[in-house]
A and B are shown apart, each in its own frame.
Chain A
Amino acid sequence: MTNTAVRGVRWAGRARGLAVRLWTVPVVVAVWEVAARAVESVYFPPPSAILARLRELWFSGPPARLFLSDAAIADFVPSLGHLFGGWALACLGGIALGVAIGRSRTLAGYVDPLIEFGRAIPPPTLIPLFIVLFKADTRMQLATIVYGVIWPVLVNSVDGARYVDRLHIETARVFGLSRAERLVMVILPAAAPKIFAGLRLSLSLALILMVVAELVGSATSGIGYELIYTQQNFDLPGMWGTIAVLGVLGFLLNSSFLVVERRTLSWHRRAGRKG
Chain B
Amino acid sequence: MIVSKVVRGAVGVAVLLVVAEIAGRTGLMDTQIMPLASTVLAGAAGLAVDSEFLHDASATVEVWAEGLLVATLLAVPAGVLLGSLPKVEIGLRPLIEFLRPIPSIALIPLVTLIAAGDGAMKVTIVVYAACWPVLVNTMYGLHDVDPVARDTMRAFGFGRLAVLLRVALPSAAPFVLTGVRLAASVALVVAISAELLSGGAGGIGVYIIKAGSGYRIDLMLAATVWAGLIGLVVNALLVRAERGLFRWHAARAGVAQ
Contacts and interface: CB of A to CB of B under 8 A. Distances in A.
A and B interact physically: yes
B12 interface: yes
Interface residues of B, number: 62
Chain B interface secondary structure, helix, strand, loop or mixed?
helix
B92 interface: yes
Given A129-B221, A212-B193, A120 B232 contact: yes
Contacts of A113: 9-10, 12-13
Interface in A16-54: 20-25, 28, 43
Contacts of A207: 101, 103
Contacts of A138: none
A143 B32 CA distance: 20
Contacts, number: 159
Contact of B5 (A109, A236, A246, A247): A109
Given A25-B94, A231-B113, A243-B110, A215 B8 contact: no
A207 B103 CA distance: 7
B101 A112 contact: no
A142 interface: no
Given A215-B105, A243-B107, A125 B204 contact: yes
Contacts of A236: 110, 113
B21 to A, nearest CB: 16
A127 B204 CA distance: 13
B34 A208 contact: no
A175 interface: no
Contacts of B231: 120-122
Interface residues of A, number: 59
B211 to A, nearest CB: 8
Contacts of B81: none
A131 B185 CA distance: 24
Contacts of B221: 129
B8 A122 contact: no
A160 to B, nearest CB: 14
Given A114-B16, A125-B204, 6 more contacts: A43-B114, A109-B9, A122-B227, A124-B196, A126-B224, A231-B110
**Shortest Cβ-Cβ A-B pairs, 4 listed:** A250-B101, A109-B8, A120-B231, A110-B12
Interface of B: 4-5, 8-13, 15-16, 33-34, 90-95, 97-110, 112-114, 185, 188-189, 192-193, 196-197, 204-205, 208-209, 211-212, 215, 217, 220-221, 223-225, 227-229, 231-232, 235, 257
24 contacts: A21-B91, A24-B92, A25-B94, A25-B95, A110-B8, A110-B12, A113-B12, A114-B12, A114-B16, A118-B228, A120-B232, A120-B235, A132-B220, A201-B257, A204-B101, A207-B101, A208-B103, A212-B103, A215-B105, A215-B109, A227-B109, A243-B110, A247-B98, A250-B100
Interface of A: 20-25, 28, 43, 106, 109-114, 116-118, 120-129, 131-133, 197, 201, 204, 207-208, 211-212, 215-216, 224, 227-228, 230-231, 234, 236, 239-240, 242-243, 246-251, 253-254
